[in-house]
Amino acid sequence: MHRSIFSSGTFALCFAALALTLITTDANAWVCSRVITGTNLETGPSLSWFHRDLTYAFHAAGTGDLAGTNEEAVIGASFATWVGISGCQPPNNSTDITFTPLAARVDRDLVGFDFLDPAANENLIIFRDKDWPHSDRIIALTTTTYSAQTGEIFDGDIEFNSEEFTFADLDGCCPNCNGNTRDDPDPECRFTDLANTAVHEIGHILGLGHPDEWGELDPSCAKGSTMCATAKLGDIDKRSLACDDRDGVVFKYPAATANQYAEQPSCALELEGCGNCTGQTCSDWSGYGFCASPMPLVNDVKITETGSDDGSGCAASPVATTVPLLLLVLCSLLLWRRRSHAPPN
């Protein structure tokens, strides 16, 4: 009798591996940007606003890329994307962060921070149709000023490179374009979607970082997280938030509740001690907060430091994803072994 290569034991193992994979790829991967310490490493507290009613201002120069002042509507919608949202993970809290545009545009071109007159700082949105001061390939640049002691964000400014790129509202636009690039042979396809860029940059203003690094494989990025470190030009998917983005902002700024941080990040989770993930003792973190996953702390979804200087706060441990992956490898090997030892037909 031909023995099935898919015995009940192997099937159970594979089923468990697949189930674990599906479960753990839902683990949160969002991270918080953190204070850069004296060693130039991101090991300080996470960056957060200490109030929820944020404002922003457009620079008076505007841009010639969009008709009239249409950039205001697109940017306004991009800010609104982060407002009034609920998280995907239980308990499905919401956030009460708000953004309000100032009634009048501002003339002052101040990206950064005026420390002599802190009250005069605005969260500035500025398009640079000429004299872009940064590298040509930069589409947009976010500058965040914060307290190096507490991580409180004082100011966040976004510069758009409208000298090198032509921004547009691509929703419903250009169905015959295979993505839009500034180098496209078709002049009708040489646009960069403004909202796709703006929603991502606003995430940085809120203190969120990238869940991945260049070339890394992060499950949340496979699901289209707006805060991921790579994208396609012409992409408009990042205009809307993925669950990972929503969970991140809701965790940081829960409605009617103080900002959340993971206190005693390592010790409480029975990892191997703070020293192994941060180089600091648990007491060093008292009084500081930094972000961690809002996921329930179960055995296979631990919280750990994701790197010393990679822009990350805390995220789901590699343990959460490597265990099921190893199970899958084992399962595959078992299947292959059984197949290779199976009698010929």
CB of 113 to another protein, least distance (A): 6
Q: Which is closer to another protein, CB of 140 or CB of 277? A: 140
Among 57, 67, 42, 44, smallest CA distance to 210 is for 42
Contact 56, 99 (CB under 8 A): yes
How many angstroms separate the CA atoms of 196 and 232, rounded? 10
Q: Which is closer to another protein, CB of 132 or CB of 254? A: 132
Task: Residue 118: count other Cβ atoms within 10 Å of its Cβ.
Answer: 11
CB of 110 to another protein, least distance (A): 5
CB of 255 to another protein, least distance (A): 26
Q: Which is closer to another protein, CB of 24 or CB of 93? A: 24
Among 163, 166, 169, smallest CA distance to 187 is for 166
How many angstroms separate the CA atoms of 192 and 170, rounded? 8
CB of 307 to another protein, least distance (A): 9
* Cα angle 201, 90, 238; round to 5: 25
Q: Which is closer to another protein, CB of 53 or CB of 186? A: 186
Q: Which is closer to another protein, CB of 229 or CB of 271? A: 229
Give Cβ neighbours of residue 42 (< 8 Å, ≥ 6 apart): 33, 34, 35, 36, 308, 309, 310, 311, 312, 313
Q: Which is closer to another protein, CB of 93 or CB of 161? A: 161
Q: Which is closer to another protein, CB of 173 or CB of 328? A: 328
Residue 158 burial (C-beta neighbours within 10 Å; 0-12, 13-18, 19+): buried
Tell me if residue 95 falls in helix, strand or coil. Answer: strand
How much is the CA Rg of the chain, to the nearest whole Å? Answer: 23
Contact 131, 163 (CB under 8 A): yes
Continuous segment of H or E residues that includes residue 34: strand 34-36
Residue 101 burial (C-beta neighbours within 10 Å; 0-12, 13-18, 19+): middle
How many angstroms separate the CA atoms of 217 and 220, rounded? 9
CB of 191 to another protein, least distance (A): 12
Q: Which is closer to another protein, CB of 108 or CB of 273? A: 108
Q: Which is closer to another protein, CB of 35 or CB of 303? A: 35
What 8-state DSSP symbol labels residue 127? E
CB of 136 to another protein, least distance (A): 8
CB of 91 to another protein, least distance (A): 28
Continuous segment of H or E residues that includes residue 72: helix 70-80
CB of 95 to another protein, least distance (A): 20
CB of 326 to another protein, least distance (A): 10
Tokens coding 254: 């829960």
